[in-house]
Structure 1
Amino acid sequence: MKRKYIAAVLTVFAMTTVCSTAFASTEHYTDSSIVGAETGWDEWVANWDETASDFTKVSLTPGKDDTELNFAWYSEKTDAAATPVVHFGTDKDALDTFEGTSGEVDQDLTGDKAYEYNHVTVTGLEPNTTYYYTVEKNGEQTEPVEYTTKSTDTVKMIYVGDPQVGASKGQTQDGAELVPDDGAANTAARNDGFSWNRTLNTALAENPDVNFVISAGDQVNKTGAAKEEEYASYLSADALTSLPVATTIGNHDSLNPDYAYHFNNPNNTENGKTAAGGDYYYSYGDGLFIVLNTNNYNVAEHQNTIEEAVKAYPDATWRVVTIHQDIYGSGLDHSDTDGMILRTQLTPIFDANDIDVVLQGHDHTYSRSKLLYGDGQTHQSYEFSLNADGTDYDWDHAANVETGEQITLNPEDGDTEAQAALDAFHEDNQCYTIEDVDGNTVTDPQGTLYMTANSASGSKFYELVSTQQDYIAARSQNWLPSYSIITMDAAKFSIDTYQITDDGSVEAIDDTFTIEKTAK
């Protein structure tokens, strides 16, 4: 039986555009009316109309290195020119002025109301320093916001997967179905935005010294459609006024330019582009972070990005890649189908560029791989092709790039030929070697660690595959929102993962895993 169905028919952006498929989520989700009953849910609901209609919230993104900070926000379009200006400094009464760029927002995405996006980069930041900032919206400064940098000798990050605000659509809350309607009528986005905020607040209460967040994609839910109320809900999280997020383009983000309006990513490249943007990279502390838009299946372009980033920051101790699709995951809906598609191509590229860690999302389950490297053999390359009328990807098949063969991913019972082709596809994707190491602290490994994050908001969960793959060291699905804390310095890279129970308690769901390096 097929576990996937097409949710909508969309206009294709380009041959590399990702599909609008919705997957078979389970009955489990985080009901904010229950987990937030005593912690602000009623107030959130009372303010929801205002929250959902405010498209002008500021988003912060790491700059090209830890001395920079990127800003993005909408302002209403008027007869006057936009004012993409940030005022920033240590003295709130004497802030320095930083100017940037602006552009028009597609009004089809904002209910035909005219907005402009503003992108500004602030430079000259020092660690362990308290700053203040305001932004200009149509020439008017906002109220000052405090922003404090942390140490760059030891860097701490919150790593999350799939907040996917709005994905709880169809679930039941207080006897009514959560719906993905536009604006304030999007009760699914109302539910999920509260839980996303709760996760960030919980993680920061436990880890107040975090430098920034890494999101492995799918910030929002409505694929290829207007969804500003979902972005408004996502960006309304308390922490995000003073906490940068390095986002990844997920399949639900990929089809519209609204992602590129809302997030001012550093070192943007022309590689791996879909409507939402392409690959980018940045340096922070001892790490080089490379973010690939794997909704584009042109792996040669992703390779170019990785090589460009390594050349730009050759002395980084750690090389970390973030992708949305989990090429080594353990979720039922993706890990053995579309998640696997790029495995044969990306594994040797990661090996050749000494990538230490790959952070993934997409499968709404948690898993940690063993240390993996390529098997040194020649393998086929795969991708998704467009369907017959060119409106979407053909999610029932994987395409062999070299031969053009269409591989049915869910063969009908008794179709022995299709099953044999699928078996051969799976066999070809056994393209990895499992490194022989002991324990959860490893020194100077050859292989790469692959992490898959569960949903940070709990808006949607998937099942694990019935049989744990041999490349997986640990996995879990407890139907609870989760997050990881990454701690990185010049000698160690450690990751701890936690889940948040309905009563707000924080529980570890895996042992600490640490990679040590004795030399770069």
Structure 2
Amino acid sequence: MSHLVSPRKRMAKVVVAALSLAMVISLLSWGFAGRNNLLPVSVVHAEDVPYQFKAIVLNPGSNESELRFTWYSTPDPAGSIVQIAKKSEMSGGNFPADTAMTFTGEALNADAATTAAGWASNKVTATGLQPSTAYVYRVGDGTTWSQAYDFSTQRSDEYTLLFVGDPQIGASKNAEADTAGWNDTLTKAFTAFPNTSFIMSAGDQVETATKETEYDFFLSPDALRNLPVASVVGNHDNNINYQYHFNQPNESKQYGVTKAGGDYFYTYGDTLLMVLNSNNMNAAEHVEFMKETEKNNPKRWKFVTFHHSIYSAGPHSVETGLKNFRAGLVPTFDELDIDMIFMGHDHSYVKTYVMYNDLPQYKQLLDMKGNVVNPTGAMYITANSASGSKYYALQQTPEVYSAERSQLKVPTFSTINVTANSVSVDTYRTDTMEKVDSYSMVKEPEKVKVHAQKEKQTDPSNIEFYYAIGHANQVNALDATFQFDSKKLKFKQAELVSENEGVIEHKVIENDGGDNEVTVSGDTVRIAAGMTAPVMSEEFKDVVKLTFELVGGKADGETTAELKLLQSTLAVSVTHKETISTIEADTATVTVGKEKNIYDLNGDGKVTVADLSIALDFYRSKQGDANWEAAKKADFNGDGVVDLADITTLLLQVLAQK
């Protein structure tokens, strides 16, 4: 990293000397990944003290069009400014200042009583960023600037996040070795997944919350100048230094607050991400934060991240405090329909079963690709260390909630892949880049259709239609409305298909053409049913049979009976949430009666000499005659005249009758 300088007058000479000495020590640590780029610092006179900077961090903004920046500079900078331009506007390595967007923020001098004393924390928010765009940026005070760095925005409708746990630089007592492991993880992850949108950390960035040199090491990988990191306050981070380094969006000043900050949230595409500061274990505060946030930011996907795992397999898993914390949070995760919860702290890997009401939901529907279909609860994942600085042994007795638990003693990371209707999480070990675990889910409304098993039938008294459900995971209640032509059909009954035991009732609503509750032509029948054996099927499964009969009891030849599905709402066992169904086929038809026999001229259902007698009355009638409209039914060959050929044809039909 290069540090461009501009002479500035500072404090008194004695203070300057002490400040400069602290800067030299800190910058030497910061230079772990590239100390050869540091300019020498010489301090004798106040006017010789340069503007210096370090620890540039990118954080997600409130949404995908924003990005937040934090960096350290010498105290009282003239400005806190970020300039951003499209990378395509770079020319010959020169930053395109004339076309760059300029964003101004604020600087806060670190408290003199902290280990960050002698630095100012600069924070700036950039807005109006476009998706799938390569940018360059620089930070500075308006006169002196850093070198140019780059980052790329990604799509927000389909995207990949990188989830890491507990880098905890310094935990092994060898910060440089921990940093090497951390840098190796990021390098391999971004090489394999270059279109990652941002990093999601489960906390414990450092071992000692007040140790700035450990933050320098944590922030040293070049990847962190190119990609935002959504950090979580770990128990080893819980100090004001954490606030100096990170610039969180929508941070609460009321909920989850410790000296490191409070709960915060951001959105990315159709995803709401809520981050809890679990160092504050007042679950009621986090509950209020989540309820308010979810209410004001409705999104399809909902993720929560915090540090202290409530479903882990290491030594922390048996702590009473974390069990109580779990009891305080889980009901709200269930109530808000949170999809996934990501945690750290126990330095081992756990993927739970789908959980609801603190109970494993073992029975889940899988589709042909192995995705869990509309899971009846949330999935919890606890990350192992991303640097290898510390590992915990697993408890000897496996937990009832753990579907997968491991201690590989190798750094790991996970990718979170989000689309419009699916989320998948893949976990990799960094030594071989082998995928060691995965989970995938699809979430979309159940599919329903109406159809006829027999498209033709002769019996006009039992015309059968079926209501079928697909993509269903434990559906146990339904409410559906159907429309039919009451001038043609009369509703007889609705019944559950035999294997779907339960209760079913119906209500026929007649449409009198006036101001009633029906706004469609024809009559409707509303069906409500509850199944004691929930429906679990990816393919369509017949659930209700509806039976009608023809008005008048018989068909004059063939007639078409039609049933239309107007609406369908389903509810599922366990969560008891109701969803409006996706109607795949809304209309079914049945052809009823026998095809009319053209030789049965009198319509008595038989072909006899009585029909022959009628044909003879029309003998020699031809098209254009006054009686042709009646006579043409005896023109069997369609040549426009009733002749001997037609009479002979009919005679043969009479003889053919049994």
TM-score by length of 1: 0.72
Q: Select which of 460, 464, 472 maps to 2:390.
A: 460
Aligned partner letter, 2:127: T
Matches within 5 A, 1:18-167: 44=32, 47=35, 56-78=54-76, 81-90=77-86, 91=89, 92-93=95-96, 94-110=99-115, 112=117, 114-137=118-141, 139-167=143-171
Distance 1:295 1:95, change over 3 A: same
Per-residue deviation, residues 432-489 of structure 1 (Å, max 9, x unmatched): 3535215552111121100000000000000011111111101111100000011001
Aligned partner letter, 2:215: Y
**RMSD (CA atoms):** 2.2
Deviation at 1:107, TM superposition (A): 3.0
Aligned length: 392
Deviation at 1:298, TM superposition (A): 1.5
Q: Percent identity?
A: 40
Distance in 1 of aligned mates of 2:290 and 2:339: 13
Matches within 5 A, 1:246-265: 246-254=230-238, 256-265=239-248
Distance in 2 of aligned mates of 1:276 and 1:97: 29
Deviation at 1:308, TM superposition (A): 2.3
Match of 1:419 in 2: none
Deviation at 1:99, TM superposition (A): 0.7
Structure with more relative contact order (C-alpha pairs < 8 Å, separation 6 or more): 1
Larger Rg: 2
Secondary structure (helix, strand or coil) at the match of 2:72 reads strand
Match of 1:509 in 2: 436
Distance in 2 of aligned mates of 1:126 and 1:253: 33
Give yes or no for contact 2:314–2:392 (8 Å, CA) kept in 1: yes
Structure 1, unpaired ranges of 5+: 1-42, 170-187, 375-430
Q: Select which of 284, 297, 314 maps to 2:281.
A: 297
Aligned partner letter, 2:79: T
Distance in 1 of aligned mates of 2:415 and 2:219: 21
Q: Select which of 381, 386, 406 maps to 1:451.
A: 381
Per-residue deviation, residues 233-273 of structure 1 (Å, max 9, x unmatched): 1111110001000000010011x111111110101112101
Give yes or no for contact 1:77–1:115 (8 Å, CA) kept in 2: yes
Give yes or no for contact 1:63–1:265 (8 Å, CA) kept in 2: yes
Give yes or no for contact 1:75–1:82 (8 Å, CA) kept in 2: no
Structure 2, unpaired ranges of 5+: 1-30, 42-51, 90-94, 446-578, 580-658
Distance in 2 of aligned mates of 1:123 and 1:499: 36
Distance 1:138 1:459, change over 3 A: farther
Aligned partner letter, 1:121: T
Match of 2:334 in 1: 351
Deviation at 1:153, TM superposition (A): 1.7
After the TM superposition, which parts of structure 1 deviate over 6 Å for at least 4 consecutive aligned residues? 48-51
Aligned partner letter, 2:167: P
Match of 1:384 in 2: none
Distance in 1 of aligned mates of 2:53 and 2:169: 15
TM-score by length of 2: 0.57
Match of 2:404 in 1: 474
Deviation at 1:189, TM superposition (A): 1.8
Distance 1:49 1:148, change over 3 A: closer
Give yes or no for contact 2:59–2:69 (8 Å, CA) kept in 1: yes
Secondary structure (helix, strand or coil) at the match of 1:306 reads helix
Distance in 2 of aligned mates of 1:338 and 1:238: 38
Distance 1:136 1:460, change over 3 A: same
Distance in 2 of aligned mates of 1:132 and 1:265: 22
Distance in 1 of aligned mates of 2:116 and 2:414: 36
Deviation at 1:312, TM superposition (A): 2.7
Q: Does 1:200 align with 2:204?
A: no
Match of 1:390 in 2: none
Q: Of Structure 1 and Structure 2, which has the larger fraction of its residues in strand?
A: 2
Give yes or no for contact 1:133–1:145 (8 Å, CA) kept in 2: yes
Matches within 5 A, 1:215-294: 215-223=201-209, 226-254=210-238, 256-270=239-253, 271-294=255-278
